A and B are shown apart, each in its own frame.
Chain A
Amino acid sequence: MDDVDRRALLDAWFRAYADRVLAYLQHRTDPQTAQDLLQEVFMIAFAKAAELPQPPLGWLFGTARRVLANRYRGRRRQNDLIARLTENAAGSSDSEVDPETGELRQAFAQTLSALSAADREVLTLTGWYDLTPAEAAEALGCSSSAYAVRLHRARKRLASALEEAGYRGDGAAAQFAEALRGEANDG
């Protein structure tokens, strides 16, 4: 593949996927680092353009995960996802949050923090960035069947965490827990 082709490909990938990869990074690190890592991800994609699966979305997310982990390796703190969620619950990124959404976000932040990093990753990857199950599996470096199992278990654990945290009845968080459990049982 010559340089011109690779550049054209990179352009197309950037226009199609940069938003979502950047959103993933902005959910997990400061704005400057997110920009830097986005550049890293696309430079690696450029270097390996010929080898990448098509479409490369899952690969891009997998690479984003690794560059982020590398950036944070050597520090205990993995990333800022929970802090970001908590801020979000407090309504600092939107001007105002209705109480129901506020409760949901608060509940999500609190209970997600009680789950393992792997559970957090599988739950948010799936719901937040429009990845297909195959893409999410590729991002996580596992088979589609292993991914399905992990997602199923993570949903169950989040549902239990919500219930244990006292989110019962017909509040937003309780409905969320129910939806999680429904999917976990179906899936």
Chain B
Amino acid sequence: MGEELNRWLRRARPHVPADDDWAASPDGQLALADLHQRMSHAADVRARRRRIWLPAGGLTAAAAVTAAVLLGIGGSTTPPPSRPGPDVPRGLPNARPAAMLLSNYDSCADLLAGLRAHTAAHTTAWGLPGGGGIYPYGRGMALGVVGTATVPGAPAAGPAATDKTTGSTSTTNDQVAGVDEPDIMKTDGDRVVTVTDGVLRVIDAQTQQVTGTLDLSIYAGSESAQLLVDGDHALVLLDTGSPRYYATDFVGPIQPPVGDRTTALFVDLSGQPTVTGSLRADGGYLAARLVDGTVRMVVTSAPTINFPQRNHPSKVRNQAIVRSAPLSAWQPSYTIADGGSTSRHQVPCQDISHPAKYTGTSLVTVYTLNIADPNGGAGPISVAADGDTVYATANSLYVASNPDWWTNGKHAQQTQLHRFDITGTGQPVYLGSASVPGRLLSQYSLDDYDGYLRVATTTVGRHTTNGVYDLDDATLTAVGHVDGLGNGEQIYAVRFAGPLAYVVTFRQTDPLYVLDLTDPAHPSVAGSLQLTGYSSYLHDAGDGRIIGVGEQIGPDNEPDGVQVSLFDVSDPTAPERTGHVVRRGADGAERLDPHAFLYWQPTGLVTVPIQSWRSDESGAALVLRVTGKTLTTVGLVHNPLGTAVPDDGQGIVRSMLVDGRLWTLSSSGLQVVDPASLHRDAWIAFS
């Protein structure tokens, strides 16, 4: 069937190295040999460990403490002072003092000239890299560079009872206390708000009844909607690459298709939940943070430039088109609707900045939204930069990007960082940019503490290595760094906790490194611990304890279930595992979504989602308890299956404590259990 169709599909298929009879090639044979080694017996595995075990403090001498490297406007470098060892990376050649970067163009004309020149330099015969630009069918669509994914369940993590949650009510896990991250379940102790499968539900925490529902399925991207809640107001965040469904939107004129779109819906929760307004931004959704009722939303967009005659690729012609494109092609635009009126805006040119080096093919825009009022937010600002990772404190927002692997090759081993001041409720201020070697694992790879931005990166290559860089956050200048963690391995988890950092690298075994960052100029490895398996998420449990969630590696050196570890790190030079729970045969902890993890310090309650590879079984929540330095299993919670089990039925995806009871969310509904006995109080089915 469909031979002609398959022929077309085949022609559109990118050729990859695997297509060249890879399994029979030397590379394929090596990979198979590697598999056989992994299958071999544990004794064998232990014998093959090639890791250099690092005694406490050993790295301090062996590696890399670089002094500040300043780069002037012209790119002249001040050579760093002394540098020990031949293998030490050469400082941070691209780190720049922030002051150099605040060179907004003097005028809109200069801005346009700069954007044109930089974009033209990156224009190809087919348009812009990453798909930016629109094509000759008039209304065309521009592909955003990032943010087109619709993954239910998003980034982030951190324990947390916020100011508003008191007593025995938790939030879901955020990275930074008081800086709320969009998620699919929120509570303030009185009501629980969820958004799953395109439906927002309000549940009364006392009566455990659904008191309101709002069907969001008319909005594109609703299946992966996330929300932020503050008092009687919620903000629903939608990310969509599909502009064709806007005709059914609730307010305003039909939108022409323009490519990636990010939609924030303002929802009033005081009665039946209702949409009271929206902000629609051109570009792909990247992240949002809520601090004290003010939401900062980060969107990336590509210039919309019309390249005609797609049948006749021409770089020269396309560059000429870029050089004559109007400023509006780059200016991110957005629409605010409040039920009564709709207004269209563009980011004004004086609010568009750029780092010293940029491509012009992508812009990062930080929107400010007042969660209670669609028209109440300060104006957005844009920076000509790319972005894929966002980390924020109450005062600072960092957008980071790792260049695309396939187009940048060696240069992909870089992380670009852009800092914004988000203090208060006003317009953010772009403070500057920097770049550090290596790539980020996630937002948890970044941490701003005591005036220093710490960045944990992996540099992949023939000699893969990991390190942590200390940057003065005022100038974004490198002050010091420690390198050489887990050579040949990659970072699987990282967590900063005040002056300490914990890093897990993995290839065969799980070294947990404890880094002492007390002196930013001289970060060092304080201690380390070797275990089988690895952690993919680390959580500060307080009192010198760290919880690690990850994968157990069995005696045959194969994944053998989910493991949860309790580490005693009260003596950073001698970390120790004091608790260990393994669920053999369980899956799903290779990459834990931090939002799915729960730790409640007052009672030591821990929940971890457990998945199953079997299609007839849904995931569960493993409930544990931390008492002192011990970790014990309380049991497993399963939510009943609903009538409409989704394809990838993950089972329980979130847990939180509401008024002392454990609430577990799956797409089929919400269960309320006693966290000690796991006896069911209530089952709130989503129908």
Q: Which residues of A contact B (CB under 8 A)?
A: 3, 6-7, 10-11, 14-15, 18-20, 22-23, 25-27, 30-32, 34-35, 38-40, 42-44, 46-48, 63, 66-67, 69-80, 82-94, 99-106, 108-110, 113-118, 123-124, 126-128, 140-142, 155, 160-161, 164-167, 171-172, 175-176, 179-180, 182-183, 186-187
Contact = CB atoms under 8 A, between A and B. Distances in A.
A165 B140 contact: yes
B590 A71 contact: yes
A15 B153 CA distance: 35
B9 interface: yes
A137 to B, nearest CB: 10
Nearest to A90: B126
B420 to A, nearest CB: 18
Given A39-B31, A70-B588, A141-B615, A22 B313 contact: no
B406 A78 contact: no
A7 B35 CA distance: 10
14 contacts: A15-B24, A19-B23, A69-B648, A76-B149, A76-B154, A80-B404, A83-B404, A83-B406, A84-B406, A85-B12, A86-B129, A86-B130, A141-B615, A180-B8
Contact of A183 (B5, B36, B286, B404): B5
B14 A84 contact: yes
Interface string B543-573: 0000000000010101110000000000000
Given A90-B125, A109-B131, A113-B131, A76 B12 contact: no
A26 B590 contact: no
A30 B148 CA distance: 17
Contacts of B139: 166
B74 interface: no
A128 B613 CA distance: 24
Nearest to B402: A30
Nearest to B17: A26
Interface string B10-46: 1111111111011110001001101110110000000
Q: Majority SS of interface residues in chain A? A: helix
A14 B405 contact: no
A93 B5 contact: no
Contacts of A113: 131, 141, 143, 148, 241, 260
B203 to A, nearest CB: 25
A44 B442 CA distance: 25
A108 B147 contact: no
A92 B406 contact: yes
A38 B127 CA distance: 33
Contact of B143 (A71, A110, A176): A110
Nearest to B554: A47
B241 A78 contact: no
A74 B18 contact: no
A166 B28 CA distance: 43
Contacts of B12: 85, 88, 104-105, 108, 176
B242 interface: yes
B667 to A, nearest CB: 14
Contacts of A74: 153-157, 442, 591-595
B146 interface: yes
Q: Majority SS of interface residues in chain B? A: loop
A166 B138 contact: yes
Contacts of B131: 82-83, 86, 109-110, 113
B47 interface: no
A46 B558 contact: yes
Of B126, B286, B592, the most chain A CB neighbours within 10 A belong to B126
Contacts, number: 279
B558 A43 contact: yes
B143 A109 contact: yes
Interface residues of B, number: 99
Contact of B286 (A76, A108, A140, A167): A76
B588 to A, nearest CB: 7
A127 B9 contact: yes
Nearest to A108: B12
Given A71-B591, A110-B141, A113-B131, A46 B9 contact: no
B1 interface: yes
Nearest to A94: B15
A102 B154 CA distance: 34
A76 B147 contact: yes
A-B complex: 7 closest residue pairs judged by Cβ atoms: A166-B137, A78-B149, A127-B9, A88-B14, A22-B18, A26-B16, A86-B131
Nearest to A179: B5
A179 B490 CA distance: 45
Contacts of A127: 5-6, 9-10, 13
B421 to A, nearest CB: 23
Interface string B110-138: 00000000000000111101110001111
Interface in B125-183: 125-127, 129-131, 135-141, 143, 145-151, 153-157
A140 B647 CA distance: 7
Interface in B366-401: 388-389
Contacts of B615: 141
B48 interface: no
Contact of A123 (B9, B241, B460): B9
B257 interface: yes
A19 to B, nearest CB: 5
B14 A27 contact: yes
Nearest to A101: B11
Contacts of B148: 78, 82, 113
A39 B242 contact: no
B553 to A, nearest CB: 10
B148 to A, nearest CB: 6
A153 B594 CA distance: 34
B135 to A, nearest CB: 7
A72 B558 CA distance: 21
Nearest to A142: B647
B311 interface: yes
B344 interface: no
Nearest to A51: B614
A161 B649 CA distance: 29
B593 A164 contact: no
A70 B125 contact: no
Nearest to B407: A87
Given A19-B23, A22-B22, A46 B39 contact: yes
B141 A31 contact: no
A87 B257 contact: no
A40 B559 contact: yes
Given A69-B648, A92-B406, A7 B39 contact: yes
B629 interface: no
A105 B11 contact: yes
B287 interface: yes
Given A35-B31, A116-B150, A164-B244, A87 B406 contact: yes
B90 interface: no
Contacts of A79: 149
A48 B543 CA distance: 40
B75 interface: no
A18 B558 CA distance: 18
B679 interface: no
Interface string B229-246: 000000000010111100
Contacts of A101: 11
Contacts of A104: 8, 11-12
Contacts of A7: 36, 39
A14 B148 CA distance: 33
B593 A73 contact: yes
A85 B14 contact: yes
Nearest to A180: B5
A132 to B, nearest CB: 11
